[in-house]
Structure 1
Amino acid sequence: MELTVLGCSGSFGAAQANACSGYLVRSGTTAIWIDCGGGSFGNLQSHIDPEDLTAVVLTHEHPDHVADIYGLHVLMRYGICSQNFPVYAPEGLPTQLGALVHNDWGDTFDWRVISDDQKIVIGDLTLTFARTDHPPLTYAVQVEGDGRRMIYTSDTGPKWNVGTFAPEADLVLSEATYLHSAKLSETHLSAHEAGLAARAAKAQRLMITHLWPRVDANDAVAEATESFGAPVEFATPNLVTSV
């Protein structure tokens, strides 16, 4: 199972790592694009032809996680002329996003609702969802394939427990929006909290993402490394890693 980082910026694009949340997970011929943050679609096309995608998963409605779904829609509707492409999303999301396409998605997408504790199989990968501590309705995703497990926290505050959801994962891809000393919201994690949570979950590896654009990635990695108790990786855009 392989992870490609398409974007790592939280809330809005940063000057250096400019794309917002987006991740490509592949196993065999299965390719799933998880979250379509602004700028991530351009990076995705450097790694895969969109025609070869198996499905898209949107974890919640915030623009830094969904903005580029519109670009994919235009390509698939008018370029590729695809029909019924699977898009997994929380209940109500197609309607919420539909205003910008005049509530006319056509038959391009086959919208499929995800829910808490739901397990689905997409090609060679198995996905399980868990509601997180983040408004609005937001889901973390466990991805299993090739005997490996990856957890993507999406957005969450500290009241949600990655260890309860999926202990001893091979990789936790965790949001780490703020430095702990300058945390602006309890609906997100600091790098310190991300490290503590992954350590309590006995994760083999921790990779942090979704940094507030004015947070220095080196500072966040150092903070998370101290609380995790082992080296922490940063989700640099276009990074490709085996899980």
Structure 2
Amino acid sequence: MIRRQTVRQHSRLLALARQSADAGGRRILGIAGPPGAGKSTLAAFLADALGPSRAVQVPMDGFHLADVELRRLGLLDRKGAPETFDAHGYAALLRRLRTPSSETVYAPGFDREWEQPVAGSLPVPPDVPLVITEGNYLLLDSPEWRPVRPLLDACWWVSLDEDVRLRRLIDRHVRYGKSRAEAESWVHRSDEANARLIAPGREAADLVVELPPGEHGAGTGRAPGA
């Protein structure tokens, strides 16, 4: 396990992920960080580079509660906050992925156009050695999310220049249907509240990944809270 280093080169990150895939058995790599930092993009890069026989990306976003349930709970305007996810279900999936089995595990994904979870859409074959999971709350120190960290063999924290991160967050919300005014309001009211909440988690990460401001593709990830 790498401890408290800062890495900027994608080649070095890929080498570390390859080491995990080659270590024997099933390993789970977590990628955490604030909304819009580029977690999903980095996870996809690693999974694509290693190939489907060696790595599968399983996003935390698949455990968003559906809008119909958020509406029932009165939490629709908080979508993306910690309490709008099935944290216990996510931890249960990670436990299942860590348990040796001869069966394929089907994980939920997230539809970016509809902004809804999609059950059973991500197959994880039993012989794939590395699962890469990413999301805001992997290092959140709260009762619901605390069980997640011990289930990860390593957890990286992705950091990006704040101005770039905010601009990309706003652009993302506009791309998925909000007006620019609505996007700016959502980012400063909701996404940034979540970013402040998880900020202490950086100190608990095994590795800090600092993406340069001009990193192409960073922050183009999935759903609110990604």
Q: TM-score, structure 2 length as denominator?
A: 0.30
The structure that is helix-richer by fraction is 2
Q: Between the two structures, name the one with larger relative contact order (CA 8 Å, sep ≥ 6).
A: 2
Q: TM-score, structure 1 length as denominator?
A: 0.29
The structure that is strand-richer by fraction is 1
